[in-house]
Amino acid sequence: MKTRKLGNTRLEVSAIGLGCMGLSHGYGPATDRSEAIALIRAAVERGVTFFDTAEVYGPYLNEEVVGEALAPFRDQVVIATKFGFTFGEDNKQQILNSQPDHIRWAVEGSLKRLRTDCIDLLYQHRVDPAVPIEDVAGAVKDLIAEGKVKHFGLSEAGVQTIRRAHAVQPVTALQSEYSLWWREPEQEILPTLEELGIGFVPFSPLGKGFLTGAIKQGATFGSDDFRSIVPRFSPEALQANQALVDLLGKIAQNKGVTPAQIALAWLLAQKPWIVPIPGTTKLHRLEENLGGASVVLSDADLRQIASALAQVRIQGDRYPAALQARVGR
């Protein structure tokens, strides 16, 4: 597995990481714990060194699984996790909370669940408008000085928030959605990150599974699957957006690879400091995704993809309104 460096801090990770959320949260019932641990360890065996989790995934369950899975390899891997919420009595309600005291409390919990004495990359999961970002960055700066955290990250933050945070504590990476069917970061985010020397970690690089071609028109999702409330996965949007998958399929077939591998290779070709973190619960999908790092897209390939994208108008918002309000702040 090739490696890449995130930001001017030179945090080196595998060119493709593993997003672990779906093993415990968001896409139906949690994967059997032993199976989830086996998948994470299989990723390590195949050269993955970058693993992404968060306290909110479960809540808490995903960090526990990741911690157990990676304990034997702790000195070989980079673990990223996130703070930023408190939870209602039923542990289902997500309430923004980035107060400095809460950040410290959250980090202590994450350290225990991850079975480590230091978090490699700590993200603010969502910007909390009630807490100045300077206070958030300052709290993480203190944790870095204490040796409990190595690198600071933000998720789904807007340009001005990134700049303000970076002025207090250098930001190593921004994690936000970016893929062939969500390209908004190209407008302001990517130029800002390049200017400041901040790495970019795209989540949902396969469009929550859509870009693999496995989700067909008429697909339905259970109430415990996040996609059931995402406008982009409504029947009408799936039908309209199928044109993108069809185009991807043709390009992939011509190169003898899969649509997922084209989607990941396209992201890797955008900037040398971009590291996507596709998630999966299946070993064969893990191997397919990691194969995307070996697909080389020529300038002609990239022009062909750009031309194909220009023919497709993506329909449907990527979040329901309440969650959309939490991004880009």
The answer for 286, left when phi > 0, alpha when psi is -120 to 50, beta otherwise, is alpha
Cβ contact 274:2 at 8 Å: no
- For residue 245, the cross-strand partners are none
Torsional class of 246: left (φ above 0), alpha (ψ -120 to 50), beta (otherwise): alpha
Catalytic entry in 27, 57, 60, 123:
57
Measured distance CA(153)–CA(175) in Å, rounded: 7
In angstroms, rounded to a whole number, what is the distance separating the alpha carbons of residues 67 and 40?
10
Q: What CA–CA distance (Å, rounded) separates 125 from 213? A: 29
Indicate if 57 belongs to the active site.
yes
Contacts of 318 by beta carbon, 8 Å cutoff, 6+ apart: 177, 182, 230, 231, 232, 324
Sequence letter at residue 141:
K
Annotated catalytic residues are 57
